[in-house]
Amino acid sequence: MAKSFPYGGYIGQLLRVNLSKKGIMKEDLREDWARDFVGGVGLSARILYQEIPPKIDPLGPENKLVMMTGPVNGTMIPAASRSSICAKSPYTKSFFHSIFGGFLGPELKFAGYDGLIIEGRADKPVYIWIDDDTVEIRDASHLWGKDPFTAEDILRREIGDEEIHIATIGLAGEEKAPYAMILCDIRAAGRGGMGAVMGSKNLKAIVVRGTGGVTVPNMLRVYNTAIRINELFATTPAVQGLSGYGTPRNVAAMNEGGILPTRNWQTETFKGMKNITGEAMREQVVKGDRACFACSINCTKYSVVPNGPYKSIINGADYETIYAFGSICQVDDIRVLCKADELCDHYGIDLISTGVSIGWAMECYEKGIFRKKDTDGIDLHFGNADGMLAMIEKIGKREGLGELLARGTRDAAKIVGKDTGRFAIQNKGLEWPGHTCRPFPAAAVGYATGPRGGSHHDIRPTAEKSGLVDRKIIEGKGAVAAEINHWLILGDSMLICHLGEPIWGPLKISDSMINALNAVTGWELDYEGARKIAEREWNMIRCFSAREGFTREDDQLPARFMEEPVPEGPMQGSHIPKETLERLKDEYYTYRGWDLKTGNPTKQKLVELGLDFAVKDVC
Amino acid sequence: MARVKVKSFSVIRDVLGSEVVEIEVNEPQTVRRLFDELVRRYGQAFKDKIWDPNTGQMAPFLIKLNESMISSTLDIDHQINNGDEIAIIFPIGGG
């Protein structure tokens, strides 16, 4: 039983499971770390910086997998359903945070833990069963080799409780495929190979059942805060449409705006998009709506293709599915995209990296670099739906060309050569999501400097995409990007969903975000106090990367975005030339108080933020 | 008076009833006047989709005016002309 914790929203207890030693320990959450890093990603970064040495093999037993909640999880604060899974990534080779929604995070708190630290490596397949105070490491030999859905079914029958919540890996995770993901209820910790880290530990699943609750200092204050945020979700125009159409509401409007990445980003307008819009999806395949814990946005769609070659049942499709397999591969059939989504879940692979890797292979095929003898006889022309689906299977099984594509575009381009890296749409090794930066300088510098590379959750292009700030002006965008970083990282430490962006941000940490944190914890943070926590968290993660050897040189954009202007549409001509990016980086580092030459935080900045312990590593 | 075509998507299209509607805009022929006319014609249901009651302002979004991009916040008094085609690039974000 956890001791009484001084701040509301926290349980005050972490669970540590050592799979090598079969050890299970419950330990107190450090009060100072809760106050300085809040929870979620910030707290995980602090723990991993402390506990794993630099330069370790991410797939070795020295790496640790940290599943963390935030103080607001498990309360009635809307969109506070998220959880983070963090580790040193086998894909990007630095600190990585993959965030997922659903129910597992709140359930972990109800079981009595703010977070779970998994270390070592089991000598045979296991799963972790957390049933309130009772924690067991159980044999998972019978689950190994099973896809996530089959494994979940077996676990539900075996445990005999429909209320359990499960995180599990597929075949890709078991085989430590670089971009293997973790399926978590109706959502996934998709990015950065967290599934490979889990697989490297011979850990098939984490199963949680909790019957406790979360204590807050003033229930009425939390209630009133939740009511107000729900009102904002219901009335703010930019949130609307998510309930009806999910994130695919974006497709048609973004295409009209010339910002729908298409044909492996050769252009940003897809003429065949009519059949893959949110509207088309709603008409053709959506059978219901689903929401994560305590969320009124309700963005997840439940879709069914009842028969035929693309027969499938998915939670989705999300915008990123439509981007990665639709416009990137120029496949204009929503049924095919549902099937692609289902296949990625089946194998347990990140759908963004999968789709963008296939898009890269299609461009290789288009340019004559790949021929049918290289693609296992598969026709990989852009637009060939069946060829695309066949290649997902190949990646899932790591067969033939699939073995190469399962490594991701950075490594695949290095192996193939022939200048194919110029159209590998990744930075820091992570393939890009479907949100462009070519017309948006703040987004560009945010992507380049982000700890994960191709993640639209280290930066958001929304402020420029909406005209909230003038996208045509370069000056000042380093500061804009930094303040967007801050609301994102504080949100990822509280663990609230970024789809509430207009309420939580979108330009800087909002009053709503601070109110939610204060109401739950009983803190009385003002803007400067909240911002300082966020800045500390961002610098903590930067220190992790710097200790791994990352420098200014690693803060790059995909070559295509620097060298190839958008060829058509209303954003025609947009790109971020190399010299513009370097200028933006100078501005960003200066605003952050980082060294212009190395891109590392300075001693002065680290001392100011209370990160003195990192000075010896990075300065 | 300018007669313009307005294109919209998802929840805004649902309110306007069609992907493209034609609107007549009286003097002064500006973006602001166009949205005033849309509110007059489609009422509160349309206003709810673009006006933020929490700020009392029109939401920030991009507008495609023929083949160029303007902004609802920075270019609200931008001139529009007879025959212009306007697309409301909103709501977008997330994913």
Per-residue tokens: A52 = 């794993």
Per-residue tokens: B89 = 């690039």
Span A468-487, mean pLDDT?
A: 96
* DSSP collapsed to 3 states, A154-166: HHHHHHCCCCCEE
d(CA A173, CA A148) in angstroms, rounded, equals 10
Per-residue tokens: A612 = 């003195």
d(CA A552, CA A536) in angstroms, rounded, equals 19
Span A370-390, mean pLDDT?
A: 98
A249–B9: do the CB atoms touch at under 8 Å? yes
| Contact yes or no for A560/A263 (Cβ under 8 A) | no
B54-77 pLDDT, tens digit each: 888 999 999 999 999 999 988 999
| Three-state secondary-structure class, residue A116 | strand
DSSP 3-state helix, strand, coil percentages of chain A (rounded to 5)? 45, 15, 40
Residue B90 sits at the chain A interface (C-beta within 8 Å): yes
pLDDT for B76: 94
Q: Is the pLDDT of residue A3 over 90?
A: no
Query: CB count, 10 Å around CB of B39?
Result: 16
- ipTM value, please give it: 0.97
Q: Is the pLDDT of residue A558 over 50?
A: yes
Closest residue in chain B to residue A236, using alpha carbons only: B52
| Contact yes or no for A519/A590 (Cβ under 8 A) | no
CA distance B8 to chain A (A): 7
Measure Cα distances from A341 to A254, A322, A537 in Å. Answer: 21, 9, 33
| Three-state secondary-structure class, residue A501 | helix
Domain ranges of chain A: 13-209, 241-430, 438-618
Q: Is the pLDDT of residue A319 over 70?
A: yes
Number of inter-chain CB pairs under 8 A, A vs B: 124
| Contact yes or no for A98/A190 (Cβ under 8 A) | yes
Closest residue in chain B to residue A497, using alpha carbons only: B94
Residues from chain A contacting residue B93 (CB–CB below 8 Å):
238, 250, 460, 462, 465-466, 501-502
d(CA A487, CA A153) in angstroms, rounded, equals 38
B24-63 pLDDT, tens digit each: 999 999 999 999 999 999 999 999 999 998 888 999 999 9
Find the helix or strand (DSSP H, E) in which B57 lies. strand B57-58
d(CA A485, CA A505) in angstroms, rounded, equals 10
Domains contained in chain B, CATH given? 2-89 (3.10.20.30)
CB-nearest to B95 from A256, A320, A468 is A320
A2 band by pLDDT with thresholds 50, 70 and 90: low
In the DSSP assignment, the letter for residue A29 is P
pLDDT for A575: 98
CA atoms within 13 A on the CB side of A17: 24
Residue B38 sits at the chain A interface (C-beta within 8 Å): no
| Contact yes or no for A319/A251 (Cβ under 8 A) | yes
**The architecture CATH gives domain A438-618:** Orthogonal Bundle (1.10)
| Contact yes or no for A235/A157 (Cβ under 8 A) | no
- A476 phi/psi in degrees, rounded to 5: 90, -5
Span A462-472, mean pLDDT?
A: 91
Span A64-69, mean pLDDT?
A: 98
Span A159-170, mean pLDDT?
A: 96
A237–B50: do the CB atoms touch at under 8 Å? yes
Rg over alpha carbons for chain B, rounded to the nearest Å, is 12
Per-residue tokens: A79 = 């969109």
Query: CB count, 10 Å around CB of A591?
Result: 16
**Closest Cα to residue B38, out of B71, B83, B7?**
B7
d(CA A11, CA A4) in angstroms, rounded, equals 8
pLDDT for B94: 72
pLDDT for A93: 97
Q: Which of A240, A299, A469, A471 to mutate to test the interface with B (most CBs of B within 10 A)?
A: A240
| Contact yes or no for A213/A76 (Cβ under 8 A) | no
Span A171-175, mean pLDDT?
A: 97
Q: Which amino acid is at A43?
A: L
B10–A241: do the CB atoms touch at under 8 Å? yes
Q: What percent of chain A has pLDDT over 70?
A: 100
d(CA A487, CA A391) in angstroms, rounded, equals 38
In whole numbers, what is the pLDDT of chain A averaged over residues? 97
B72–A244: do the CB atoms touch at under 8 Å? no
Residues, chain B? 95
- Please give the class, per CATH, of domain A241-430: mainly alpha
Q: How far apart are the first and last CA of chain B?
A: 40
Residues from chain A contacting residue B89 (CB–CB below 8 Å):
253-254, 256-257
A45-56 pLDDT, tens digit each: 999 999 999 999
Per-residue tokens: A298 = 């309700």
CA angle in degrees (0–180, nearest 5) for A106-A107-A112: 95
Span A538-548, mean pLDDT?
A: 98
DSSP codes of every residue in A204-265: EEEEEE-------S-HHHHHHHHHHHHHHHHH-GGGTTHHHH-GGGHHHHHHHTT-S-BTTT
The CATH number of the domain covering residues in A13-209? 3.60.9.10
